[in-house]
Amino acid sequence: MTPWRSIAAQVSGLRVRLLLAFALLGVTTTAVVASGSYFQARTVILQQAQDAAVMALTDQLAKVYPVLQLPPTQDELHLLAQRLSDREGYAVVIYRDMREQGSLTPVSLTPELRQEVGDGQIAWQRVSQDGQPTLLIGTQLRIDRPDGTSQPSGLEVYSVRNLVPEQQSIDKLATRAWLTGGLSLLLAVLLALLSARGVLRPVRDLGRAARRLGEGDLSTRLTVRGVDELADVARTFNDTAGTLERQVGELRRMESDARRFVADVSHELRTPLAAMTAVTDVLDEEADHLPGDAGRAARLVSQETQNLTQLVNDLIEISRFDSGTARLALDDVDVAAAVTATLRMRGWADRVHADLPPAVVARLDPRRLDVIVANLVGNAFRHGAEPVSVRLSADADWITIEVADQGPGLDPEVLPHVFDRLYKADTARTRSEGSGLGLAISWENARLHRHGERQGSLVAGNGPGGGAVFTLRLPRGTTDAGGAR
């Protein structure tokens, strides 16, 4: 999988989707709630501030009365403006073309406000004055006439009040809203992670169990938790694994039964063979003295008894590997000397081109090495063509023995089967050429040698020159004298 596809898989993965959904839900809810309460609070704060300011102004205006003179003098107007100004704000007093204000800050009154004030209403408006939120409250001063009416005096009072403290309160509210939003987002993500874990853990367990099952651990089962869909899947998985285990167990039992049968038969054959083998020498000696057919028959019986013995011995050897009872008899062996002895004992020393560097000492089972080498060389003579060569090489961890011939090589169709039991590449081959188990036994013998992670191997192939090449690799310091499997 490419990195991008893996990232894409991550993004569209269940975890991320859950995370997004939770985060979205959290953020949306928080945004709605927080902004709703924010706006409401803002309105309340502003309304209260405005109402309070209007009330304060009205109260202060009561002190202006009685009006002594209209039109007022500039001084009176100024005095009035000063009296109506305080810490909270300052006043602008207007009489027709005259204007006084309680502060040096220039202030502009909006025409629409003046219009409403001119119409006899107390009116207010929030404006932005020099970048600061400002509340403008305006009212006329009316005068009670003795006849019970009320006349406009022409005086207009505007209170200019800074809303910065309210702005600050509202800003604090906003900050709090953002903070709440952030916290709830965090909470949502946390919850999402938790619930993703809750959902994903069974999924992960399932994946792991499936992998173990695929790797051959048929006893793998899942713990079924709860009654949800995932638990159903887990149950189904367990049922499937159980069925599989039963069936595979059945198959294995049948196979091991079959193998045990072969082993038992071989053992049973051994006693009569032991008796027959004991007297083959007698037959061989007497055959020369027996007339005609009797002599030939005696030789035939002797020969086939030996072949049968070989076959039964090989079968017993194989069944030993199958049952895991094969044991290594390890010794420190001079490999070159051992191979030379193998060749010499079988009379092949002169026919084989041996390249055996001296002083390669390896810890291995010399009898099994002999079996392997004898088998490979014997095979090369039987199926390949001379010259047959045996080459030994070694490094710190391995020894390698290559047995090559100059024959036609192995058919690619045969290659995967050369180590199969009783596999006959050449259907015309006669039985007398061997039990058909030689290479299988050699292969098992090679694999029996083991040192930690290193396990011996026997590989068949064709050399660049055409002939068959069998390569035996054994760990140099076999320590494991354990079972074949």
Partner 1 sequence: MTGRRTGRALLAGGLLLGTLLAAGCGVRPSPVITGRSAVSGPAQGIGLYLVAQGELVLVLRPVKPTTPTPPSEALARLAAGPQQNERDQGLTSEVPTGLTAAIEVTPATGRFGDLTVRVTGPTRALSPTAIDQIICTAADAAAQAGLVGGPAPVTIVGSDGAQPARRCPAR
Partner 2 sequence: MSQVLLIEDHQTVRDGLQLALTRQGHTVHAVGTGEQGLERLRTTPSDVVVLDLMLPGIDGFEVCRRIRQLGDLPIIMLTARNDDMDVVAGLEAGADDYVVKPVQARVLEARIRAVLRRTGGDSRRGGDRAGLEQHGALTIDRAALVVSKDGTPVSLAPTELRLLLELSHTPGQVLSRQQLLEAVWEHGYLGDSRLVDACVQRVRAKIEADSSAPVFIQTVRGFGYRFGPL
Segment interacting with partner 1, rule: CB under 8 A, options 164-172, 223-231, 300-308, 340-348: 164-172
Residue 366 Cβ vs partner 2, minimum distance, rounded to whole Å: 5
Q: Which of 2, 69, 427, 432 is in the footprint of partner 1 by CB under 8 A?
A: 69
**Residue 127 binds which one of partner 1, partner 2, none, with CB within 5 to 8 A depending on kind?**
partner 1
Beta bridge partners of 133: 128
Q: Which is nearer to partner 2, 109 or 371 (CB)?
A: 371
Among 105, 110, 65, 107, smallest CA distance to 83 is for: 65
Q: Does 46 bind partner 1 (CB under 8 A)?
A: yes
Residue 466 Cβ vs partner 2, minimum distance, rounded to whole Å: 33
**Residue 128 binds which one of partner 1, partner 2, none, with CB within 5 to 8 A depending on kind?**
partner 1
Q: Which is nearer to partner 2, 25 or 361 (CB)?
A: 361
Residue 61 Cβ vs partner 1, minimum distance, rounded to whole Å: 5
The site map against partner 2 for 218-257 (x = CB under 8 A) is ----------------------------------------
Q: Does 406 bind partner 2 (CB under 8 A)?
A: no
Residue 202 Cβ vs partner 2, minimum distance, rounded to whole Å: 49
The amino acid sitting at 448 is L
Tell me the C-alpha distance between 290 and 312, whole Å. 29
Q: Does 282 bind partner 2 (CB under 8 A)?
A: yes
Place of tokens 């061989």: 284
Contact yes or no for 123/117 (Cβ under 8 A): yes
Residue 347 Cβ vs partner 2, minimum distance, rounded to whole Å: 12
| Binders in 362-381 for partner 2, by CB under 8 A | 363, 366-367, 370
- For residue 89, how many other CB atoms are within 10 A of its CB? 22
The answer to whether the peptide bond before residue 464 is cis (omega within 30 degrees of 0) is: no
Tell me the C-alpha distance between 258 and 241, whole Å. 25
Phi–psi pair at 32, nearest 5 degrees? -65, -50
Tell me the C-alpha distance between 100 and 228, whole Å. 80
Phi–psi pair at 152, nearest 5 degrees? -65, 140
Q: Which of 204, 253, 344, 353 is in the footprint of partner 2 by CB under 8 A?
A: 344
Beta bridge partners of 176: none
Residue 348 Cβ vs partner 2, minimum distance, rounded to whole Å: 13
172 burial type by CB count under 10 A (0-12 exposed, 13-18 middle, 19+ buried)? exposed
Helix pair angle (164-214, 14-62), 10° resolution: 170
Segment interacting with partner 2, rule: CB under 8 A, options 116-124, 150-158, 166-174, 325-333: 325-333
Residue 156 Cβ vs partner 1, minimum distance, rounded to whole Å: 9
The amino acid sitting at 454 is R
**Residue 281 binds which one of partner 2, partner 1, none, with CB within 5 to 8 A depending on kind?**
partner 2
**Residue 108 binds which one of partner 2, partner 1, none, with CB within 5 to 8 A depending on kind?**
none
Tell me the C-alpha distance between 326 and 485, whole Å. 9
Q: Does 262 bind partner 2 (CB under 8 A)?
A: no
Can you read off the two tokens belonging to residue 484? 């074949």
Furthest C-alpha separation in the chain: 174
State the Cα angle at 230 between 227 and 233, rounded to 5°. Answer: 105
Tell me the C-alpha distance between 30 and 187, whole Å. 11
Q: Does 174 bind partner 1 (CB under 8 A)?
A: yes
Q: Does 9 bind partner 1 (CB under 8 A)?
A: no
Segment interacting with partner 1, rule: CB under 8 A, options 114-122, 224-232, 365-373, 460-468: 114-122
DSSP secondary-structure letter at 137? Answer: E
Phi–psi pair at 429, nearest 5 degrees? -65, 140
Can you read off the two tokens belonging to residue 411? 């058919």
| Binders in 259-288 for partner 1, by CB under 8 A | none
Q: Give 231's contacts (C-beta < 8 A, 6+ positions apart).
A: 202, 224, 225
Q: Does 61 bind partner 1 (CB under 8 A)?
A: yes
Tell me the C-alpha distance between 98 and 78, whole Å. 10
Q: Does 317 bind partner 2 (CB under 8 A)?
A: yes
Segment interacting with partner 2, rule: CB under 8 A, options 207-215, 252-260, 314-322, 432-440: 314-322
Residue 257 Cβ vs partner 1, minimum distance, rounded to whole Å: 52
Q: Which of 32, 52, 278, 279 is in the footprint of partner 1 by CB under 8 A?
A: 32
Contact yes or no for 23/189 (Cβ under 8 A): yes
Exposure b/e, 341-376, CB count within 10 A at least 16 = b: ebbeebebeeebebebeeebbbbbbbebbbbbbbbb
Q: Does 267 bind partner 2 (CB under 8 A)?
A: yes
Q: Does 67 bind partner 1 (CB under 8 A)?
A: yes
User: Using CB under 8 A as the criterion, which residues of the chain lie in contact with partner 1 when the complex forms?
Assistant: 12, 17, 20-21, 24, 27-28, 31-32, 35, 39, 42, 46, 50, 54, 58, 61-62, 64-71, 73, 95-98, 110, 112-113, 115-117, 120-128, 133, 139-154, 163, 166-167, 170-171, 174
Binding site for partner 2 (CB under 8 A): 267, 270-282, 285, 306, 309, 312-313, 316-317, 320, 325, 327, 329, 331-334, 337-338, 341-342, 344-345, 361, 363, 366-367, 370
